[in-house]
Structure 1
Amino acid sequence: MSYVKPREFVAAMVDAGEAKAAMSTRDTLIRAYMAGAILALAAAFAVTITVETGNALVGALLFPVGFCLLYLMGFDLLTGVFTLVPLAWLDKRPGVDLKALLRNWGLVFAGNFAGALTVALMMAIILTYGFSTAPSDVGVQLGSIGEGRTVGYAEHGAAGMLTLFVRGVLCNWMVSTGAVAAMMSTSVSGKVITMWMPILLFFYMGFEHSVVNMFLFPTGLMMGGDFNVGDYLVWNEIPTVLGNLVGGLTFVGLTLYATHHRTGAPRKRPVQDTGSAELLPEKVGA
């Protein structure tokens, strides 16, 4: 059978976290760069489909193709290392200390951003014929997304910031579930099916993904969206990163680690009064 039991795939999660923390700077940056670029292409694909069909569900149904591809090729997203690397630290794996954890997160963030920004520039060129014409319908939509999901939150003040943060939490609850789902099967088809489901959910629900936003908002700025870099950082990227960290680590990494790797002591079975002085098997020799 291709299904991997929870105890086994959670052990693999901890092993993966250790391996990522120990990875060279060069390899970490390359893998993060490619992950950011592929996810950005998938986001551009999904927005294009949504604009052309007028149906956001169709775009959401097809967006996970990018996520599946990047994980099958062993590339790394910030949302994934938020969940995996801390487990190796908690497990006291050799060489995985706070410095190594923060180093990994910083490198993956930088690589993801560079990859997403590369695709943002390429898409901006395509959508404007090298900045020689007004943006296409897809470009206009990208500008609108950037505006609505920055100044749109700012209009609501603290309530908008709370909403943004919670959307970041929910996003990485699902995205990290997708990353872990790749470890639940030994077959490619099993990995793809299990990854597809939570990624579809997060994208259609409009949750906030820090790496997807590394593409959407720079592209939106280049498409003339009515917001600025400060709006993007304060009213999207920074709160989204924090929400992604809390969501992935709390609802996926720590819960699985606690209940399948560092399990609690089992309850003692109660002794039944049968009217006999015989001891239950586990009491023999006590």
Structure 2
Amino acid sequence: MDYVKPNEVVQSIAIAAEKKASLSVLHILIKGFLSGAFLGYATTLAYQASTQTGLDIVGAIIFPTGFVIILLLNLELVTGSFAMLPIARFRGLTTTPKILRNFTWAFIGNLIGSVFYAVLFFIAITKFGHTFDAPVIDKIIAVAESKTLDYKGYGGDGYIVVFVKALLCNWMVTMGAVMAFTSQATIGKIAAMWIPVFIFFAQGFEHAVVNMFVIPAAMMLGADISFGDWWLWNQIPVTIGNLISGIIFTAICLHVITKEKGKI
């Protein structure tokens, strides 16, 4: 049996997170860059599947491929780290400054990789700006506008909605990172992490790194979205919501229910 029990899972996460927190800035940046690009790949694949079949659920089934690559290669995805590194801190294996350092550079690496892939995808899908008639282009623009202009149209209520959708998203994303530790077999890890990632994407919740690709890509493709719309109505509140969700709903809860009696 390759199943790993919950208390062993959380302790393994703490040990892995300790190593993550001690990575050099260069390694964090490179790993973050790759994660951003790979998640962009998975997003465009999901949207291609959605437009080709007319079923968004098909795209949601496909989307976790990006997370599989990232987690199996132990790359740096800041949204997953929002839960993993705090667990290591709660168990005394790392420090707050190291965590903040990892979060900062992983975020930057994810952003660079996502935008880099967006540029390459723009060149590929538009034939270097010569044609904009691919159905996936309309899909990306529609999704990005719903992630920014729709919230803006609701004013203050829009902030509440985007924040709640960010909470709901990273609850599942961080559970995907956790589930990867529940098996010692590669196929078991893939199956386990697939489930929560599918759940978040199928329901259109807000993921900071996915949005680092979708929104700038849509802007390149002609969406009526400004830089301010991107950051004020999505990227900033979504990142905060993802962070809070990872710490409270996953890190704290799993730490408390699996810690040994008498230990913090």
Q: Same fold (TM over 0.5)?
A: yes
Same amino acid, percent of matched pairs: 37
SS in 1 for 2:125: helix
* Aligned pairs for 1:1-286 within 5 A: 1-93=1-93, 96-263=94-261
Q: Which amino acid aligns with 1:36?
A: G
Q: Which amino acid aligns with 1:5?
A: K
- Is residue 153–residue 235 contact of structure 1 (8 Å, CA) maintained in 2? yes
CA separation in 2, counterparts of 1:233 and 1:72?
30
1:66 is displaced (CA, Å) by 1.2
Question: Unaligned 5+ residue runs, structure 1?
Answer: 266-286
CA separation in 1, counterparts of 2:72 and 2:16?
14
- Is residue 18–residue 88 contact of structure 1 (8 Å, CA) maintained in 2? yes
CA separation in 2, counterparts of 1:119 and 1:9?
33
CA separation in 1, counterparts of 2:261 and 2:215?
42
Per-residue Cα deviation, 1:74-113 (whole angstroms, up to 9, x for no partner): 11211111111122222222xx322211110001001111
- Is residue 124–residue 139 contact of structure 1 (8 Å, CA) maintained in 2? no
CA separation in 2, counterparts of 1:85 and 1:171?
18
1:262 is displaced (CA, Å) by 4.8
SS in 1 for 2:4: coil
- Is residue 127–residue 135 contact of structure 1 (8 Å, CA) maintained in 2? no
Q: Which amino acid aligns with 2:227?
A: V
TM-score, normalising length from structure 2?
A: 0.96
- Is residue 169–residue 244 contact of structure 1 (8 Å, CA) maintained in 2? yes
Q: Which amino acid aligns with 1:212?
A: V
CA separation in 2, counterparts of 1:118 and 1:83?
26
- Is residue 144–residue 215 contact of structure 2 (8 Å, CA) maintained in 1? yes
1:133 is displaced (CA, Å) by 2.2
- Is residue 46–residue 60 contact of structure 1 (8 Å, CA) maintained in 2? yes
CA separation in 2, counterparts of 1:146 and 1:135?
17
1:132 is displaced (CA, Å) by 2.0
Per-residue Cα deviation, 1:30-80 (whole angstroms, up to 9, x for no partner): 111111111110001001111111100000011111111111111121111
Per-residue Cα deviation, 1:184-239 (whole angstroms, up to 9, x for no partner): 00001110111111011100000000000000001000011111110000000000
CA separation in 1, counterparts of 2:132 and 2:2?
50
SS in 2 for 1:177: helix
- Matched residue, 1:282: none
Question: Unaligned 5+ residue runs, structure 2?
Answer: none
- Is residue 135–residue 223 contact of structure 1 (8 Å, CA) maintained in 2? no
CA separation in 2, counterparts of 1:264 and 1:136?
60
Q: Which amino acid aligns with 1:16?
A: A
CA separation in 1, counterparts of 2:233 and 2:120?
25
